[in-house]
Amino acid sequence: MKPLTLRRLLWTCGSLSALLLVVIVIALKLGAVPVSVTDLVMSLGRVAIGRSDRLPAEYRLIVFDIRLPRILLGVMVGASLSVAGAGFQALLRNPLADPYVLGVSSGSALGAIIAINVAPQFALATPLGAFLGAVATITCVYFLGLREGNLDSTTLLLAGIICASFLSAIIMFLMTTLSSRDQRGMAFWLMGDLSTPQTSDVRWLFLVGLVVAIGAIYTTAADLNLLLTGEREAAHLGVEVTRVKLVVYVAASLLTALAVSASGAIGYVGLLIPHAMRFLFGSDYRILIPASALGGAIAIVAADAMARTVVAPTELPVGAVTAIAGAPIFIYLLRRRMR
């Protein structure tokens, strides 16, 4: 493991942030309605010097009221899923773990649907239900993945996949109780979709939850590095294993729940982004966590820009784009591990 310096951390985060900014600007340009680069730069300049009142009205609507909030939601969802994935991978000592593969996303979705049915008038019901669903699922999958007291990575993955399909079946069953109009909305949401507008309350809740949960996982980063060598070894080196595991489980479940309640089950981002970041910057969690957050944001913003443009003006759910890109890479990683 390369020694970590403040300089290296700043360089990594700085370059990824710059890349994210570039991707955001490109995503602001792309869409069903054509926007020229010059116009975009001019209007961004006007916003930057505080003259946003000079923008043409429909321009402001399309670029800043429609595309920008969606891109920012994508940033938050991508960061959450990716850090949640990195967290689960450390805890389960399995590089193929991710909220989607482990069934946590499905559990979250089921929790959200039950919450919407039980307390439709309560605005926070969806994220709360999603959180409880996520915690319950990861607990279940964890115990199902144990073999003679040890986590077995194949058993764990199978347990996750089976839980996901079981939970999806229950979701299908519950959907039959909905009106046909709600069913269509739900089907789209389940695929993973960023087009649903969020109220500013939900956006703030998401932001606060995101910062708190990523911060909490980051405080355990040094311990997670040691945990990778094994729980007993880490305990010998002075890691409070139980506390660290609890913090990361709860925080990663919270991140999954926030992402799922805002955008449904978007797959493979939580799996592949930490992988890519580990490949690029090494497996030190102190750098992997911020890098995953930024990388996840870049991936989702780029995938959603594609979802908005490939069959424009019709939109695809972003989950379809991430699955098309992610599933083959997942298979490749799985096969390489088996060798």
Partner 1 sequence: MSIGAEGVNRNRRRSGARTLRSAAAALVLLAAGAAFAYPLRASSDSRDTPARLAVTDEFGRTIQVPQPVLRMVSLAPSMTETIFALGAGDRLVGDTDACDYPAAAKTTAKVGSVEAPSIETIVALRPDLVLATSLNRQETVEALDRLGVPVYVADPHTVQDVVQSTARLANLIGAGDAGQALVGNLRARLDALRRRLSGVPPSRVLFVVWTEPLISIGRHTFITDALAWADAQSVVDTERDWPQVSLEEMVRLQPAYLVFAGSHGDAGAPSLADLQARPGWRDLEAVRAGRVVVVSDALARPCPRLLDAIEELARDLHSEVFPENPR
Q: What residues line the site for partner 1 (CB under 8 A)?
A: 1, 4, 6, 9-10, 13, 17, 31-33, 47, 57-58, 60-62, 64-69, 72, 75, 176, 179-182, 184-185, 188-189, 195-197, 200, 207, 210-211, 214-215, 218-219, 221-222, 225-226, 229, 233, 237-238, 286, 289-290, 293, 308, 312-317
Residue 268 CB, nearest approach to partner 1 (Å): 21
Q: What are phi and psi of 151, to 5 degrees?
A: -75, 125
Residue 312: left if φ>0, alpha if ψ -120 to 50, beta else—which one? beta
101 vs 234, beta carbon nearer partner 1 = 234
121 vs 148, beta carbon nearer partner 1 = 121
**C-alpha neighbours within 13 Å on the C-beta side of residue 14:** 6
C-alpha–C-alpha distance, residues 83 and 69, integer Å: 21
Residue 203: left if φ>0, alpha if ψ -120 to 50, beta else—which one? alpha
Cα–chain center distance at 97? 13
31 vs 107, beta carbon nearer partner 1 = 31
Residue 236 CB, nearest approach to partner 1 (Å): 8
Per-state percent for the chain, helix, strand, coil, to nearest 5 = 75, 0, 25
Residue 73 CB, nearest approach to partner 1 (Å): 10
Residue 140 CB, nearest approach to partner 1 (Å): 31
Residue 126 CB, nearest approach to partner 1 (Å): 13
C-alpha–C-alpha distance, residues 63 and 69, integer Å: 9
79 vs 101, beta carbon nearer partner 1 = 79
Residue 12 CB, nearest approach to partner 1 (Å): 10
31 vs 111, beta carbon nearer partner 1 = 31
96 vs 307, beta carbon nearer partner 1 = 307
- The letter for the amino acid at 137 is T
62 vs 170, beta carbon nearer partner 1 = 62
C-alpha–C-alpha distance, residues 244 and 234, integer Å: 11
SS3 at position 4:
coil
Extended beta strands in the chain, E state: 146-147, 150-151
C-alpha–C-alpha distance, residues 61 and 309, integer Å: 18
Residue 137 CB, nearest approach to partner 1 (Å): 25
2 vs 337, beta carbon nearer partner 1 = 2
Residue 184 CB, nearest approach to partner 1 (Å): 5
Q: Can you tell me which residue has the tokens 């695929």? A: 191
CA distances from 102 to 20, 27, 151, 240, 295 (A): 28, 30, 14, 25, 21
72 vs 136, beta carbon nearer partner 1 = 72
Residue 313 CB, nearest approach to partner 1 (Å): 4
Taking a C-beta distance cutoff of 8 angstroms, is the pair 232, 93 a contact? Answer: no
CA distances from 83 to 4, 213, 216 (A): 19, 9, 11
